[in-house]
Amino acid sequence: KGVVTLDPGYKNTGACESAITFLDGEKGVLRYRGYAIEELAEKAHFLEVCYLLIFGELPTEQQLSKFHTDIKAQSHVDEDVKRILDGFPKAAHPMGVLSSLTSALVAFNPSSVNVDSEEDMYKAIVKILGKFPVLTAWTYRKRMGLPLDYGGDSLGYVDNFLKMMFKKPSGEYTTNETVLEALDKLLILHADHEQNCSTSTVRIVGSSHAGLFVSISAGIAALWGPLHGGANQAVIEMLEAIKEDGGDTKKFMAKAKDKDDPFRLMGFGHRVYKNFDPRAKIIKKAADDLLDNLGIDDDVLDIAKALEKEALEDPYFVERKLYPNVDFYSGIIYRALGIPVEMFTPMFALGRLPGWIAQWREMRLNKEPIGRPRQIYIGETHREFLPVEKR
Ligand code: CMC
């Protein structure tokens, strides 16, 4: 007590106790509420995982059905939100737009702010789960100049999202099981990752009792950065750049190792995983399977594999324990699903939404104190003020 320990980037500082996600970075283990990520990715659906993360147990059929019905009942977004969206330039990055729109939702749902009971929390939770996919799809459609609309009540959560994204102006929409399964899996793999940058942001903003929606809006802003969720967009841009440059992966490896060059191998390295990222393993296989199934030949996947092979044999990467992370192969799947590169990070946000909600809820139920890190002051000691004419 009273002694401030310096830990830039919180590399060794625990900020809370949590019962949501277990992560062993040395062994490459990731579990949500005790369930192995490999098993959930294989057997569960995204909405079940949302429920599991938020409420701690896998839902019964009845619980899942009620949860879905409650979400659907709250998926309507006030028509005036369309006017806010209209104010953004088409070229605006979707993450900035999404963060703003999520924040703006508070104005249309003021009762979502003061949530002192579990019942109030539940109402705010189903609202954001219902409205966020709509905002994400609208952000995309606005960019594309497509009409803004809803999906269909009879569809599953993920299917409905895809329909909102890709429905033609004529109303026509088709998808298939392969596409749905691939997206479902990807969303599950992104659903939570304990106290990462965006989740810590959600918890710290929420710790001032600012409300769920603005806490999530702050989380979206944190996720945007290329060192965090923004890496998925940066990976594909990097792979494209390598391709355009003639495919010389060694040249880019050398740049990544050069300490005078700010370039990093995007999609490589992780604060916690020091042997492998279990999510990356699953995603690599899923990318292979999906491209096979859809009959797509993406030469960027070959570049990614070549880069991974070289990095795994390179002393620079081996010594620093740098392995492909969740973002390395995910973009290849998004591309195959027809999702444009600027929408990759919003897709990550859609997947991470239940994790942010679960962590916010846990923080509020635990009655955690306001987040307020300390510092070690290294500035001037006391100085006398000089009026401007004497400086
Ligand atoms: N390429 C080249 N060198 C790297 C990389 C990389 N991708 N990542 C780390 N290093 C080096 C770094 O320069 C440092 O070297 P040295 O010891 O010589 O100074 C050493 O490895 C340790 O790196 P660090 O930056 O101290 O590690 P960190 O835990 O602070 O950062 C990271 C973790 C993920 C931000 C970092 O590895 C990185 O910038 N990776 C690229 C961006 C990326 O893929 N981000 C997605 C992360 S996973 C999903 C998510 O969080 O959203």
* Closest residue to atom 29 of ligand 1, CA basis: 271
Which DSSP symbol is given to 29? E
- Kindly report, residue by residue over 49-100, the tens digit of the pLDDT: 999 999 999 999 999 999 999 999 999 999 999 999 999 999 999 999 999 9
Report the atom number in ligand 1 closest to the C-alpha of 270: 34
Q: The tokens of 276 are what?
A: 């492998």
The mean pLDDT of 261-284, rounded to a whole number, is: 93
Is 245 within a domain? Answer: yes
**CATH at 251:** 1.10.230.10
Number of separate domains in the chain: 1
What does residue 23 show for φ and ψ, rounded to 5 degrees?
Answer: -140, 125
Distance 232 CA to ligand 1 centre (A): 14
Is 190 within a domain? Answer: no
Residue 1 has pLDDT above 70, yes or no: no
Is 219 within a domain? Answer: no
* Residue 327 annotated as catalytic: yes
Is 279 within a domain? Answer: yes
Residue 15 and residue 366: Cα distance in Å, rounded? Answer: 13
Residue 103 and residue 1: Cα distance in Å, rounded? Answer: 37
Residues within a 6 A CB radius of ligand 1: 9, 196, 227-229, 231, 256, 264-271, 320, 322, 325-327
Distance 268 CA to ligand 1 centre (A): 7
What does residue 117 show for φ and ψ, rounded to 5 degrees?
Answer: -105, 160
Is 275 within a domain? Answer: yes
**Residue from 190, 195, 220, 270 to probe ligand 1 pocket by mutation (most atoms less than 8 Å from CB):** 270
* Closest residue to atom 24 of ligand 1, CA basis: 271
- Kindly report, residue by residue over 100-147, the tens digit of the pLDDT: 999 999 999 988 888 889 999 999 999 999 999 999 999 999 999 999
* Closest residue to atom 21 of ligand 1, CA basis: 320
Distance 87 CA to ligand 1 centre (A): 36
Is 237 within a domain? Answer: yes
Q: What does the pLDDT read at residue 115?
A: 86
Which DSSP symbol is given to 195? S
Is 199 within a domain? Answer: no
Biggest CA–CA distance in the chain, Å, is 76
* Residue 184 annotated as catalytic: no
Distance 267 CA to ligand 1 centre (A): 9
pTM of this prediction?
Answer: 0.95
Residue 131 and residue 192: Cα distance in Å, rounded? Answer: 19
> Is the ipTM beyond the 0.95 threshold?
yes
Residue 285 and residue 309: Cα distance in Å, rounded? Answer: 15
Residue 127 and residue 388: Cα distance in Å, rounded? Answer: 53
- Kindly report, residue by residue over 291-320, the tens digit of the pLDDT: 999 999 888 888 998 999 999 999 999 999
Residue 209 and residue 114: Cα distance in Å, rounded? Answer: 8
Distance 290 CA to ligand 1 centre (A): 28
Beta partners for residue 268, in sequence order:
324
Catalytic entry in 184, 190, 270, 277: 270
Is 317 within a domain? Answer: yes
Find the domain containing 331 and state its range: 231-336
Mean pLDDT, all residues of the chain: 95
Among 208, 212, 236, residue whose Cα is nearest residue 348: 236
